[in-house]
């Protein structure tokens, strides 16, 4: 049969229009199906030990495996060196110097600036994503109704426990200072991993933004017994970065700050065997976190979303295990400020590579906007700079250093080679990471480096918000007052 010949121009035009619209619909649908999913995995207090093998004793087979498929960011740092302000900054898009949220111990979103801010998961919801989270996300509480606006189904199991009993706690220490084994079912990290695995098995009708927040390796150092069994306390060594007289070349204000935690440090450091047991606990929790991260990554690989999901594995801040005479975060030095990170973009040509360009957790939000927003911008200005260019070319030009804040006029700036620290009394520290990765030699007093300091100091904001009220704010003011009256910028 011959094909029907259409001679009516009006009908022909209508048919062509319909054909064009159908074609556009198909193209649009294809474009929609190609929108990237996001899986953001965030550990708690995970320093660089196992992630970048600066402490070879720490076993992280799943992180090692993941890094072979991703681009590692060797110099990633937190906006503030504690859980709540770091998470508040990168989730809200508002840097600590603008919000005044520098410390733990106060509410997360109290200022009008933060209350009115469209945060990261809210942005994803608005641009058409399903948003999910399980585990530790915000750290500090935000209003319940806002949690519902952020994530479908809430945020899952929470809490730092299980806590060690009195026999397994360090004498004089809190319930966070101790080491003890518990069964798997007692840990929120396990339960939340299972919830994420179930979500990855679901059929999602829209692209998703998904967060898995681990409570480990944060103290207390409790984990299933098999992770303690990975480490023999008698073979554990005191960290390479520890130097007994490390405080001697620091400014008075830095020494005063270290001395404010002197008793807690000496409680552990004066007993070498106890120190090694404490390290064993941290290592066990580090490997425990690695195991759960591996379970989630395996579930993604087995899902239908493996080829269309950007995966980020990072931490909210780092942690000292004796270095700089402290067992804590809450400092402007490397081991506290570092937030080790690796990012996998589907089809990347840079799998297994590492870039030393300095980035910040604050840069995640604008990077997601550039990858997933289809031109849709957040409702309010956000801080940070997209590092999409580095994901596409790890050697691309990148002039911006990474900045960490720990109070008004307590600022640490990190470029590829140097860390520069400026205190309220204008005293300084400077470390060359090409020769001194543990920051043992303060170069700030050497005139050879005046140009380096001058350049890095230009990145210090000219104005910084006053800190929000809280116990840490009071504590830091006392330290400042003990040294000198801070300069009000």
For 43-64, how does the pLDDT look when each residue is reduced to its tens digit (9 = 90+)?
999 999 999 999 999 999 999 9
Model confidence at 384: pLDDT above 80: yes
Least confident among 32-46, 72-86, 345-359, 431-445: 32-46
Exposure on the CB side of residue 328, measured as CA atoms within 13 A: 19
- pLDDT number for residue 51: 97
- For the chain, the farthest-separated pair of C-alpha atoms sits apart, in whole angstroms, at 99
Contact 129, 206 (CB under 8 A): yes
Contact 193, 212 (CB under 8 A): yes
Q: Which residue would you say has higher pLDDT here, 274 or 115?
A: 274
Model confidence at 354: pLDDT above 90: yes
Buried b / exposed e along 40-60 (16+ C-beta atoms within 10 A): bbbbbbbbbbbbbebbebbbb
Residues 6+ apart with CB under 8 A from 440: 241, 243, 246
Within 10 angstroms of residue 413's Cβ, the number of other Cβ atoms is 24
- pLDDT number for residue 109: 67
Read off the pLDDT of residues 214-235 as tens digits, 9 standing for 90 and up.
999 999 999 999 999 999 999 9
Model confidence at 433: pLDDT above 70: yes
- pLDDT number for residue 133: 96
Give the span between the Cα atoms of 59 and 61, in whole angstroms. 6
Contact 66, 349 (CB under 8 A): no
- pLDDT number for residue 4: 34
Query: Percent of the chain scored above 70 by pLDDT?
Result: 90
Model confidence at 118: pLDDT above 70: yes
Model confidence at 17: pLDDT above 50: no
Give the span between the Cα atoms of 363 and 402, in whole angstroms. 9
pTM for the whole thing?
0.91
Model confidence at 420: pLDDT above 50: yes
Model confidence at 29: pLDDT above 50: no
Q: Chain-wide mean pLDDT for the chain? A: 91
Smallest Cα–Cα separation from 470: which of 191, 85, 86? 85
Least confident among 220-229, 259-268, 317-326, 450-459: 259-268
Counted residue by residue, the chain has a size of 489
Model confidence at 7: pLDDT above 70: no
Residue owning tokens 């995640």: 364
DSSP 403: E
- pLDDT number for residue 265: 94
Give the span between the Cα atoms of 39 and 20, in whole angstroms. 36
Read off the pLDDT of residues 234-247 as tens digits, 9 standing for 90 and up.
999 999 999 999 99
- pLDDT number for residue 349: 94
Least confident among 39-43, 141-145, 365-369, 412-416: 141-145
Least confident among 2-16, 121-135, 408-422, 474-488: 2-16
pLDDT range class, residue 483, cuts 50, 70, 90:
confident
Give the span between the Cα atoms of 301 and 308, in whole angstroms. 11
Residues 6+ apart with CB under 8 A from 17: none
Which helix (H) or strand (E) segment is 310 a member of? strand 309-315
Read off the pLDDT of residues 286-322 as tens digits, 9 standing for 90 and up.
999 999 999 999 999 999 999 999 999 999 999 999 9
Contact 410, 420 (CB under 8 A): no
pLDDT range class, residue 117, cuts 50, 70, 90:
very high
Read off the pLDDT of residues 143-167 as tens digits, 9 standing for 90 and up.
788 888 899 988 988 999 999 999 9
Model confidence at 419: pLDDT above 90: yes
- pLDDT number for residue 107: 66
Residue owning tokens 């945020």: 155
């Amino acid at each position: 049969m011959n094909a029907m010949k259409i001679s009516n121009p009006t009908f022909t035009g209508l048919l062509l229009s319909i054909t064009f619209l159908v074609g556009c619909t198909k193209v649009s649908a294809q474009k929609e199906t190609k929108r990237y999913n996001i899986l953001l995995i965030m550990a708690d207090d995970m320093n660089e030990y196992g992630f970048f093998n600066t402490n070879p004793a720490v076993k992280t087979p799943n992180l090692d495996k993941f890094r072979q498929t991703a681009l590692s960011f060797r110099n990633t740092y937190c906006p503030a060196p504690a859980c709540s302000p770091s998470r508040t900054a990168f989730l809200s898009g508002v840097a600590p110097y603008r919000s005044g949220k520098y410390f733990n111990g106060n509410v997360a979103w109290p200022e009008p600036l933060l209350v009115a801010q469209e945060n990261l998961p809210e942005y994803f919801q608005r641009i058409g994503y399903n948003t999910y989270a399980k585990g530790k996300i915000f750290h500090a509480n935000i209003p319940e109704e806002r949690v519902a606006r952020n994530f479908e189904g809430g945020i899952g199991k929470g809490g730092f426990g299980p806590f060690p009993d009195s026999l397994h706690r360090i004498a004089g220490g809190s319930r966070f200072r101790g080491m003890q084994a518990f069964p798997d079912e007692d840990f929120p990290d396990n339960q939340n991993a299972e919830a994420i695995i179930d979500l990855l098995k679901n059929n999602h009708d829209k692209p998703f933004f998904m967060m898995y927040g681990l409570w480990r390796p944060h103290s207390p150092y409790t984990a299933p017994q098999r992770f303690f069994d990975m480490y023999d306390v008698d073979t554990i060594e005191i960290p390479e970065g520890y130097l007994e007289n490390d405080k001697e070349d620091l400014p008075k204000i830095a020494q005063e700050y270290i001395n404010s935690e002197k008793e807690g440090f000496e409680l552990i450091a004066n007993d070498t065997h106890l120190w090694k047991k404490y390290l064993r606990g941290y290592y066990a929790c580090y490997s425990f976190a690695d195991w759960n991260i591996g379970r989630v990554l395996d579930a993604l690989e087995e899902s239908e979303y493996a080829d269309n999901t950007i995966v980020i594995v990072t931490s909210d801040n780092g942690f000292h295990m004796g270095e700089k005479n402290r067992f804590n975060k809450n400092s402007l030095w490397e081991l506290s400020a570092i937030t080790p990170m690796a990012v996998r973009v589907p089809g990347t040509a840079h799998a297994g590579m590492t870039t030393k360009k300095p980035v910040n957790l604050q840069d995640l939000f604008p990077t997601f906007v550039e990858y997933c927003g289809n031109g849709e911008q957040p409702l309010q200005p956000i801080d940070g700079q997209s590092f999409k260019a580095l994901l596409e070319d790890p050697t691309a030009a990148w002039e911006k250093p990474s900045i960490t804040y720990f109070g008004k006029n307590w600022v640490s700036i990190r470029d590829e080679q140097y860390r520069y620290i400026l205190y309220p009394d204008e005293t300084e520290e400077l470390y060359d990471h090409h020769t001194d990765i543990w920051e043992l030699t303060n170069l700030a007093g050497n005139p050879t480096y005046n140009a380096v300091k001058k350049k890095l100091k230009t990145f210090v904001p000219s104005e910084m918000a006053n800190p929000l009220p809280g116990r840490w704010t009071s504590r830091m003011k006392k330290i400042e007052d003990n040294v000198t009256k801070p300069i009000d910028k």
